[in-house]
Amino acid sequence: MPPANCKEGDVATKYDWPAAADRSLIGKRISRTDGPDKVTGQAKYSYDRNLDGMLVAKIVSSPHAHARITKIDTRAAEGISGVRAVEIFNDVGAEIQWIGTEIVALAADTEEIARDAVAAVKVEYEVLPHLVKEEEVDKAGDRVKPAADKTTGDPDAAFGQAGAVHEGYYGLATITHCCHEPHGQVVDWTGDEIVVYASTQAVGRIGADLAKNLSADEAMGVVKPSDVRVITPVMGGGFGSKFAIDTWGIACAKLSKKTGKPVKLMLDRDQELMIAGGRPSDYGKIKVAAAKDGSLTAYESESWSTGGVTSRGAPPLPYVIEPPNTRIRHLNVSTNTGPARAWRAPNHPQAAVLTMCAYEDLAAKLGMDPLKLFKKNVGLTQRPEVYRAELDKAAQLMDWPAKWHPPGEGGSGHVKRGVGISMHTWGGRPHDSQCRVTIHPDGEVVAELGSQDLGSGTQTVIGIVAAETMGLPLSAVNVKIGDSNYPPSGPSGGSTTVGGVSSSTRRASVHALEQLKEAVAPSLGTTADQIEAGGGHLAVKGGSGKLSWKDACRKLGANSISETGKQPMRDGGKLADSGVGGVQMADVSVDTETGIVSMNKMVAVQDCGLIIDLKTADSQVYGALIQGICYALWEERIFDQATGIYLNADMEFYKLAGIGDIGELVVHMMTGVYDDRGVIGLGEPPVISPGAAISNAVANAIGVRVPTLPLTPDKVLAALEKKGGMA
């Protein structure tokens, strides 16, 4: 099968990835290099920084979803012994638009004193009318605004001529990021430099962000981006929610300036869930049509969602499989809820639910195995060959032909079993990145990038690329990331990191190695172009002369080699690409007496170009499946409309999967010819399909659609009742 999107006429360059037979590290299963630091507790996260004289700051939050501040009195709080400084986020007169909004931050000698201070701050509010729920869009009044309205082809005619038409209601609730390490940072502004130890996905960006915001406050003086240094060697999860310095980062810096001491300000768990995360909901009435043979002809949607007070855009509908006739209408509902942040694969999981569930229900109406319907329509996707191959592979790994049954025929007992499918796509282009590779005379190789490792294995990938290029073991490369003093590399979002850092590192390593070859060529009695690196040696091609890496580097005398590589680079070859497809299948059991859905198995088949480290790539997909199981079955931000209260801003009732909840997970990465496209990001794609695949599996099991995620027992039982009792 030809690699998808492989462009004709790509010119070979010295940077190109080594051929499969020549790879000793790339594509192998390699343990992450920061693993030992993490399992021993030695890895220092922002939350773990304990600097000399450091103060702890805590935040007073709004208890109201919508209100105006009428009075703030911090005198009692400031009178508490050990309270050192106060910073106001929102002053008297400010309109508060969601619960948890930051009002005041206080820095104190200890966390306990800071909490006393928070409790002693008196804030009075004029409470205003709120809307915190959006599913019943008819009740949203003038808070509803059109966000998209687009028609292609002639949907009305297509529906009129269709062999089968299905109309259904689907949706999924807003979920939050719930990063284990909450948002926050330690700021040390005790000297000329402002050092920010931030839990961030954007080491290279938030310094300038902070400088700009501080400069806007006269009391802070003029702060230049170069005055700020960001240090983040490890961070405890972001998932798209940690790109900005955020109000608490700015407040933390101001408190440090005011007190002349380092200040730690990490959000509390309830604040983390209320104000620092949120993936928009989506609900929609979907109408789909097909010919009698299952060829999809039309898709129509009337959908709505909330991203908080402001709009969050519209989901890409219809998703992956695009019939020729479509009508897409999307509404945005402004609610008094915490603002949306990018959540792995923004808008795609929602689009998958609003598309793939309708397609499977249409297949049911046609009396057709959905696998056949999806395969029949791969021509309506951007990469038919990839999806066809992936559907076949997934079906084999799931044993689909043996497991699928017509909807509702999931067994004779009260526990019904069913299977479902979903498909997804993502870009994953490389972000801009610079890498500096230094070879020291003692043989040390250092790769430096102002990048960050979110737990995706970025540090390991960089090491593998540098080591592979120089023919060294991975342990010979010292990878330094997570510091804005290193060459700039993009923020980690949208699956852009692996392509960016692997490309820049490859080029920097090629450049540095060229320099080393030049330096040792005279000793080997040849020219640089006749030297090859491998197995820890530099050797004359086809000859007998060779030097160990250490001996070769010794030839540098007192001078280190330091070379930079960039992504993008003109004439730098094609090391990375974008655009992938994936297929997932779920196998669930549904207890029709309790409504509980449990996972038996999930299969993920994923294309992502050349994989640098198969072990951490697999982990990304396993993790995505588990996060998908979470939002399919339990995760939901729950508000009470009467009070505007966020009911589950904690980890007891904001439910995530435990180790016993996930079933068997099977990951298959498409490799081989797919490698030819170069590196493509993987963080987003595999998290897109689980919701739709699991919903489809439940529908297959019980013969009725549970319309919205999460598929909680109450909704399962309600769907069964609507159907007329047990499946």
Contacts with other proteins by CB under 8 A lie at: 31-32, 34-36, 38-45, 47-48, 50, 56, 81, 110-112, 178-182, 234-237, 239, 268-269, 454-457, 615-616, 618-620, 622-627, 630, 650-652, 656-660, 662, 665
Residue 520 CB, nearest distance to other proteins (Å)?
Answer: 33
Residue 140 CB, nearest distance to other proteins (Å)?
Answer: 31
Q: How many CB atoms lie within 10 A of CB 43?
A: 16
Contact between 301 and 673 (Cβ < 8 Å): no
Distances (CA, A) of 529 to 16, 517, 533, 557, 572: 16, 8, 11, 21, 18
Instruction: Compare residues 267 and 524 and give the one whose CB is closer to other proteins.
Output: 267
Containing 146, the helix (H) or strand (E) segment is strand 144-152
Instruction: Compare residues 618 and 636 and give the one whose CB is closer to other proteins.
Output: 618
Query: Identity (one letter) of the amino acid at 348?
Result: H
Instruction: Compare residues 199 and 350 and give the one whose CB is closer to other proteins.
Output: 199
Residue 20 CB, nearest distance to other proteins (Å)?
Answer: 23
Residue 107 CB, nearest distance to other proteins (Å)?
Answer: 14
| 643-673 per-residue burial string, b: 16 or more CB within 10 A, e: under 16 | ebbbebbeeeebbebeeeebbebbbbbbbee
Residue 485 CB, nearest distance to other proteins (Å)?
Answer: 23
Question: How far apart, in whole angstroms, are the C-alpha atoms of residue 543 and residue 528?
Answer: 14
Instruction: Compare residues 50 and 310 and give the one whose CB is closer to other proteins.
Output: 50
Nearest alpha carbon to residue 173 among 717, 594, 706, 722: 706
Contact between 445 and 437 (Cβ < 8 Å): yes
Containing 359, the helix (H) or strand (E) segment is helix 348-366
Residue 4 CB, nearest distance to other proteins (Å)?
Answer: 27
Strand order in the sheet with 664-670: 415-426, 580-591, 597-607, 664-670
DSSP state of 231: B
Sign of CA dihedral 362, 365, 368, 371: positive
DSSP state of 375: H
How distant is the alpha carbon of residue 83 from its chain centre? 38
Instruction: Compare residues 563 and 587 and give the one whose CB is closer to other proteins.
Output: 587
Question: How far apart, in whole angstroms, are the C-alpha atoms of residue 52 and residue 513?
Answer: 42
Instruction: Compare residues 372 and 615 and give the one whose CB is closer to other proteins.
Output: 615
Residue 80 CB, nearest distance to other proteins (Å)?
Answer: 11
Residue 717 CB, nearest distance to other proteins (Å)?
Answer: 24
Contact between 422 and 692 (Cβ < 8 Å): yes
Instruction: Compare residues 313 and 473 and give the one whose CB is closer to other proteins.
Output: 473
Instruction: Compare residues 275 and 704 and give the one whose CB is closer to other proteins.
Output: 275
Instruction: Compare residues 568 and 663 and give the one whose CB is closer to other proteins.
Output: 663
Residue 249 CB, nearest distance to other proteins (Å)?
Answer: 19
